Chain A
Amino acid sequence: MLSSADNGGNEQLKAAFVPLNGTFSLNLVHSAEQLAAIPLNTIRVFIYAGSGDQTSWQENARQVRNANENPYFILISDDESMVSALTQGADLLVRSSEAEQLPLILGALLKRHSETVKKEDQKSATTETPASEKIDELRLKNSELEKINYELDRFVYSASHDLRAPLTSVLGLLDLLRNDTPAGEHQRLIDLMEESILKLDTTIRDIVAYSRNNRTEVNIEPVRIQPLVDEILREIKYLESGDVVLSECVRAEDEGLFLADKTRLITILKNLISNAIRYRHPARRPEVIVKVHRNAELLNVTVADNGLGINEQHLGKIFDMFYRTSDHSTGSGLGLYIVKETVKKLNGNIEVQSRVNQGSVFHISLPLIAENKQRFVLDE
């Protein structure tokens, strides 16, 4: 780990964290010469707390990158112009008021690193596991497989219909095209074909997202809500939003930095935001507000909209696989099911409140991981 600064701001950093189990050490440098004195290929995290000077951090960064595989770059600066650094190789920009979160962030990064190291060690390990442990492992694997098979059966039954439906629609439209439908109506037929195919594509993408959530491990990293929402809006541009300008309708309330599984959080928010736009009220402009709030125990995420709302009789079923309240939508029916499963994977909880014709609010609470509560102590 290495930190570089040309002002006294370092004192706060130094007091905030120290070696973790003796495997990492902190080096403070104040100049390029001092930096050169350190074996650059050992640097895992590079924290730059200098003044807003793009060239000097970039120069340091280049040096370290040339010698090292892939260090994690953190910039501490209140200078807004430094935001562009994120596109030039920096991994994280932290404001000085948020510096107190660095121990948590470093803890998460180091945990991730030590897990990678552990995995590599395991691959080359040659120790024998006792037979009883092996049997337990097999039993566990077996019941996991049974669960997977059962889910797969249910899934195939539902999916086969939902995957075929748009195709039979296209076949029907093609048949009409063949049967001397007047040329003036061709455009309509073609538009409807496209609509069905896009719907099929959405279903398939959702299935892939569902599978990915099931199989990948939880990966915690520092996140800010606004860039996440920006990324999501870029991805859902193709939605039937009509004349709606997404960036004006979806707002994130930024409470600063927090730790979360970024990919899964994107999956959750993307589905909720897409639904909010899809099921918007025809008489007014859609408004979606995404709020993230951290308290001592939980990360609370809410997505509120002013759309059509959900009828009480459906509320209990909306999280079921392939459940749709009506067919008047481009959705696959998998979105909320995926959200529920993703939240479950993060050991969280999801609730919904809704009023027909007024809108809905989804509340998600995710327990903060144990590492978040770890406090580092000053060693010297």
Chain B
Amino acid sequence: MGKYIAKRLLSSLAVMAIVSLVAFAALELIPGNAALVAAGTEGGSSSVASLAAEFGLDRGFGERLMLYYRNILSFDFGTSSYFGESVATLIGQRLGVTFSLAFFSILIAFLFSVVLGTAAALCRNKLIDAFSRTVVQLFSSIPSFWLSLLFLIVFSSMLHVVDVGDYVPPAVSISGYLSSIVLPVIVLAISETGPLLRLVRASMMRVRNEDWYRMGKVRGIPGIRLATAYALRYALPGPLTLAGSELAKLLGGTAIVESIFALPGIGRLFLTAVEMRDIPLVGGIVIFVSFLVVLMNLLTDIALFLSNPSMRKAGGMKL
């Protein structure tokens, strides 16, 4: 097992190194630099030069690249030119909001998809199956910005069920926290449900044709047990992988929903950074989010590895 995880870890590190190199190169290639932005329109060439020296922009490409990697390894993504604060601090402050949105929306979408997808596959061509197919079509075709606005109008303006605009951290009030994230979580969960539900249903359909599934029926194993302890366990790796990568994607992809619901998350921070040409912040967020994606994929792979006995055996783990 250790060998598998070590191998997987090494390949993840290689991916991270390449991703950060690409991010560095991209930021190098775009016109302008952090010193120009920080100096602003009033700054003369001398202040730009001194800022460039401060940011290390006057050094050679190779030297800057080494410095960049050294800073990343010590979690130092530099200082935001717009906010004047450390990029790591800015990301840290907003991570909780974005993580809450991504985690809860994937959790809800996953549970809903597993229950409905399993029922649909086991009752193929019955009412529940038709319902699940309708849900897939409907949820996949609703744009999340439109649904966000609709939810805002209905639940906040008309019904006054939830307050929007004031994010409450869970440390302050759990109910306030839940109330501030419930609408965006539902919006994101709906857009994630389409592909997950489709995959759960398709995976479970395939399981129905497996010989061991048929034999389970012949051997008199009760339907519920066969569906959960056997079929679902066998069919879940695909949907779990998708949920893992979708979660990672959401960590950097909730900008629109965060903006509409005025939540201080990473997505909104990123939009601000781009708008303000805050290059260190843009670079920091890009690196951070891509590392999260790699990390989530690594965790998903390890979880799948541990849940598969034949892989575990092959990896030499004692059971």
Q: Do A and B come from one complex?
A: no
